[in-house]
Chain A
Amino acid sequence: MSLLRRILGTPEGAAGALILCVLVLAALLAPVLFPADPLSIVGPALVPPFTDPALPLGTDRLGRDVLAELMHGAGTSLAVGIAAAAMAMIAGSLVGTLAGLAGGLVDEALMRVVDAFQIVPSFLLALAFVSVTGASLPVVITAIALGAWTGPARLARAEVLSIRERDYVAAARVLGMRPLEIAFREVLPNALPPVMALSSVIVAISVLTEAALSFLGLGDPNIVTWGSMIAEGRNVLRSAPFLSILPGLALMLTVLGVYLFSEGLADALARRRSRA
């Protein structure tokens, strides 16, 4: 709790938290304020923003409410970003811990697989994966996680390698704890905090990757996303640039919020360490 207060004490952390709160609020209010499908047609096409009080941000090429789309899109972006990051963190920590604890051939083999995932551009991998399995939300989340789990895996392995030599692990072994018990009760909990510090960057990258995928038309076609809104607005880029600019600004704000919050977190942690 005091950590959160310390994050909010830094200007970056406070700004980031504020942005993220607004976004979460927008995502939560979207189904309340706009219970209808945001992809349904509500008015004439291409109403400019700030002209019709019923459609504050105007309509797109097909006469869909831009504000409703934007607010529903917030939920999609955040959900995909967080889900993909969680998946990458869990898979990465498990593989990294396993490699670090097992050592030998298992370690060698797992790390070569990590290398292999790292030399393939993650966006190309996501592209290939989505094209193989067909675009739906879980597939997009998995595709993004496929390109993001190697960082946590490497870090978790490095942490485990240093922790397994500590005295308390030796003590646990002497006490007769089983290897799996040692792994999950002694090593993993201590290896996780540095790995968790990666999570905000992975969330930010996941949000951007999801946007790029749906911009290329590889997102779930039945769900409104900011990336697909930009792609849709691109058709009328000359006459109605705001249709592409607004969702782009929303994306930028989201990612900026995540980065600012993580800067605040890093500051708060650094200050706690320097005080200790």
Chain B
Amino acid sequence: MRRALVLLRRRAISSIPVLLIVIVGTFLLLEAAPGDAVDAYLLSIGGGDAALVASLRASYGLDQSTLARLWLYLTALAHFDLGWSVTFGRPIVDLILERLPNTLWLMGSALALSFSLGSILGVVAGARPGSATDRVLSIGSLALYAVPSFWLGLVLSVVFSVQLRWFPIAGIESIASGKHGLDRALDIARHLVLPVSALGFIYLALFLRMMRSGMAEAWRQDYALAARAKGLRRPRIVIRHIARNAMLPLVTMLGLQAASMLGGSVVIESVFAIPGFGRLAQEAVAGRDAPLLIGIIVTSAVLVIIVNLLVDITYALLDPRVGAAEAAA
């Protein structure tokens, strides 16, 4: 445990400069955008005179220099203040905190689905590399991996929502259903089945292929030969010796895919009209709301860092070699 904590502290400290690069970089990128939130607002209200424009810019601090505003932004950020969204007329932190849980549910469930089902199918495929089952699963997963997730979402909704009417077509829960507690949880779960499948099935293929190739590699190792020479039964070899050793890289993969899945949920949320983090990003783009977009990107970077820290700890707990050097130092 001490090993994991030492590792955690080191990783957390080293991610601070990286996060700073993300913040400054995003700020400067969006600074380069032609037009600001005031322009977008004027467009929506049908224009205004120069005095109004100037007073609006002054009230949002848009009349100051880039560097001055970057400094303001960083100091506000240190107080967990991401600024004000002109599009929504609300603090950005509130907006993000309101939308984030939906996306976390979507992402978490999709990751759990793809990781568990993917590694189980990977064990099935890797139990006998080169067998017919292995070939079918390998080619099938390759085909699955080639499917665009948003398109899979559309096809699933045509089949299961429009034709079969098994699942609701959009949203995160029934509107004004008055449901509480378990009923509400079940309602949300029903709404999440299709989007989670659309997002999760793509990554399932990734975990399956990784597990399979790791196991194929493990079969060639001496300990696999030793286990067979000892006369162990095949299921025991597969589970205890082969699969277990092929499992570790999958944990790393889980962390690496967090960022990609967060990006993927933007499109899935648009397909299924889920009021989540990704939809917020789209709304920020549509409203030219630069502060909101910066806030979203910074939050997602923090999320990815947290997921990777969790993965690092898990990894250190699973593999005694990891972090041993740091703990000794």
Contacts and interface: CB of A to CB of B under 8 A. Distances in A.
B92 to A, nearest CB: 15
A204 B146 contact: yes
A107 interface: no
Scoring B260, B285, B305 by chain A CB atoms within 10 A of each residue's CB, the highest score goes to: B285
Contacts of B87: none
B219 interface: no
B18 A119 contact: yes
Contacts of A134: 34
B281 A256 contact: no
A254 B146 CA distance: 8
B155 A248 contact: yes
B154 interface: yes
A252 B147 contact: yes
A179 B150 CA distance: 48
A88 B160 CA distance: 39
Interface in A246-276: 248, 251-256, 259-260, 263
Given A230-B154, A255-B146, A119 B32 contact: no
Q: How extensive is the interface on chain B, given as a class?
A: 35 or more
B320 to A, nearest CB: 25
Interface residues of A, number: 44
A122 B260 contact: yes
Interface in A108-154: 112-113, 115-116, 118-125, 127-129, 131-134
Given A132-B30, A244-B151, A121 B300 contact: yes
B151 A131 contact: no
B33 interface: yes
Nearest to B267: A212
Nearest to A125: B297
Nearest to A218: B285
Nearest to A134: B34
Q: Looking at chain B's contact residues, is the secondary structure mostly helix, strand, loop, or mixed? A: helix
Contacts of B308: 119
Nearest to B259: A121
Given A132-B32, A241-B158, A123 B263 contact: yes
A177 interface: no
Contacts of A230: 148, 150-151, 154
B270 interface: yes
Interface in A148-200: none
Interface string B261-284: 011101100100000000001100
B210 interface: no
A215 to B, nearest CB: 5
Given A212-B267, A256-B143, A128 B21 contact: no
Interface in B138-172: 142-143, 145-151, 154-155, 157-158, 162
A161 to B, nearest CB: 19
A3 interface: no
B318 to A, nearest CB: 23
A120 B293 contact: no
Contacts of A133: 32-33
B146 A120 contact: no
A128 B151 contact: no
B259 A244 contact: no
B21 A116 contact: yes
B311 interface: no
A121 B282 contact: no
A90 B309 CA distance: 31
A219 B88 CA distance: 26
B276 to A, nearest CB: 13
Interface of B: 15, 17-19, 21-22, 25-26, 29-30, 32-34, 142-143, 145-151, 154-155, 157-158, 162, 259-260, 262-264, 266-267, 270, 281-282, 285, 288, 293, 296-297, 300-301, 304-305, 308
22 contacts: A113-B21, A116-B21, A116-B22, A120-B297, A121-B262, A121-B266, A121-B300, A122-B260, A122-B263, A124-B281, A125-B297, A128-B29, A131-B285, A211-B148, A212-B149, A212-B150, A215-B267, A237-B157, A237-B162, A238-B158, A248-B155, A256-B146
